[in-house]
Structure 1
Amino acid sequence: MSYPDEQLLDRRPLLRNAADALPERVGAPLHAFLDHLDATPLIELTADYVTTFDHRKKFSPYLTYFAYGDTRKRGMALLRFKHAYRRAGLLIGDDELPDHLSVVLEFAATGDPEAGKRLMIEHRAGLELIRLGLREAKSPWAYVLESVSATLPPLVGRDEDAVARLAAVGPPEEEVGLAPFLPGGAR
């Protein structure tokens, strides 16, 4: 789920072997994505990645964005990610936000699988919203999210409601200090 580069393309045989070893529900979507990588020039992959993830908030790869938007509360959520990484002995640099899906997936795979899974479950509504949006847009990146989602417990009850609510309303917006600029004045 990170920006595609030559290293990703060079790792395709390794990724195929890994996908072969996974249960069908997890591995099959990865194979579909790898088929896309095989058939698409790198310049197109990078352009599609930027268009998909950098230009549309609907597909934001930052998991806390969906729960907190660009509000002050998001900072505390980001700290929770950093603390989870630190407890596992991993330090993340300041050049990447800790809630970027590629960082969370790498942490879950190589750092602390249970803590990584817990972080994804806590932000499941956003993860599912990305997955559903990518599927609807017929984006090849949807295959990767299908695989990730297949590793998590099924959505039920409140989780399904949270996804539907988030899809209808969107992430929260900061209104603190904006009262004089809101329609109708202060609230």
Structure 2
Amino acid sequence: MIIHQAASLLLCYPGDDWPDRRTLVEQALHGIPGDAAARLRRFCAQTAATAPLELARTYVATFDRSNRRTLHMTYYTDGDTRRRGMSLARLKSLYRTYGWLPDAAELPDFLPLMLEFAARCPEPGTDLLQAHRPGIDVLCAALTKYGGPYADVLPAVAAGLGDPTSAQRRLARAITAGGPPTETVGVEALGAYR
């Protein structure tokens, strides 16, 4: 899907290649109907005059300084628990099953990687995005509250997935209310020895 690939490119860190990447997305979305494409085009228009370094600062402030706005999807459902390691391993296995080896520099739950997988392998990729729909919705709501240009990109992703199920809505509300799971492991969990 073009929306998934476009969102993937827009949600990656805006390095020196940003102007060319943004232009490529604008050209690919030209004439594509619907709210999702319109939101992505609006993001491109809003950031067209922004220097890559300035957009990079916005990106870091938006995604790297708050656990409530992370692009790592298993964090929403697994937090910093041992269970997250298994979730990451399952994602790697899924990608390998379909012959895709994403950049090893990123964790496999990085939303732009998941979106690129959905663009390359639509059926399993859409299923994967649906499985992480509560995290996508939590991130979408957090970005809307935070503001900034990236607030248009996540609603485009969510719109492409259709309406969430009631179970997905309940889980998104629970994550929003209580945050991701936590666990205490090791000596700290037993208290300090004196």
TM-score (norm 2): 0.87
Q: Is the 1:19–1:27 Cα contact (8 Å) retained in structure 2? A: yes
Deviation at 1:42, TM superposition (A): 1.4
CA–CA distance in structure 1, aligned partners of residues 130 and 41 of structure 2? 24
CA distance in 2 between counterparts of 1:56 and 1:169 reads 15
Q: Is the 8 A contact 2:63 2:69 kept in 1?
A: yes
How far off its partner does 1:68 sit? 0.3
What do the CA deviations read for 1:107-139 (whole angstroms, capped 9, x no partner)? 1112x1111111111111111111111011112
Shift in Å, 1:12: 2.8
Select 1:33's aligned residue among 32, 36, 43.
43
1:32, distance to aligned residue in structure 2 (A): 1.1
- Residue of structure 2 equivalent to 1:156: 165
- Tell me the C-alpha RMSD between the 2 structures: 1.6
Hey, what's the Cα distance between the residues in 2 that align with 1:65 and 1:17? 33
Matched, 1:70 2:74: no
Partner of 2:134: 125
TM-score of the aligned structures, taking structure 1 as reference length: 0.90
1:101 correspondence with 2:111:
yes
Query: Any conservation in 1 of the 2:47–2:149 contact (CA below 8 Å)?
Result: no
Q: CA deviation at 1:74?
A: 0.4
Cα deviations across residues 88-124 of structure 1 (Å, max 9, x unaligned)? Answer: 11123432100001111111112x1111111111111
SS of 2:17 mapped into structure 1: helix
The one of 150, 175, 193 equivalent to 1:166 is 175
Kindly report which structure 2 residues correspond to 1:11-90, keeping only aligned pairs within 5 A, or say none. 11-90=21-100
Shift of 1:65: 0.3
Bigger shift: 43-52 or 5-14?
5-14
**Structure 1 spans left out of the alignment, 5+ residues:** 183-187
Aligned length in residues: 181
Compare relative contact order (CA 8 Å, sep 6+) and give the higher one, 1 or 2.
Answer: 2
Q: Which residue identity lines up with residue 34 of structure 1 in the other structure?
A: C
Cα distance in structure 2, aligned partners of 1:45 and 1:138: 14
Give a deviation string over 1:41-99, Cα, whole Å, max 9, x none.
Answer: 21110001111111111111000000000100001111111111101111234321000
What fraction of aligned residue pairs are identical, expressed as a percent? 38
Residue aligned with 1:173, SS: coil
Moved more, 158-167 or 7-16: 7-16
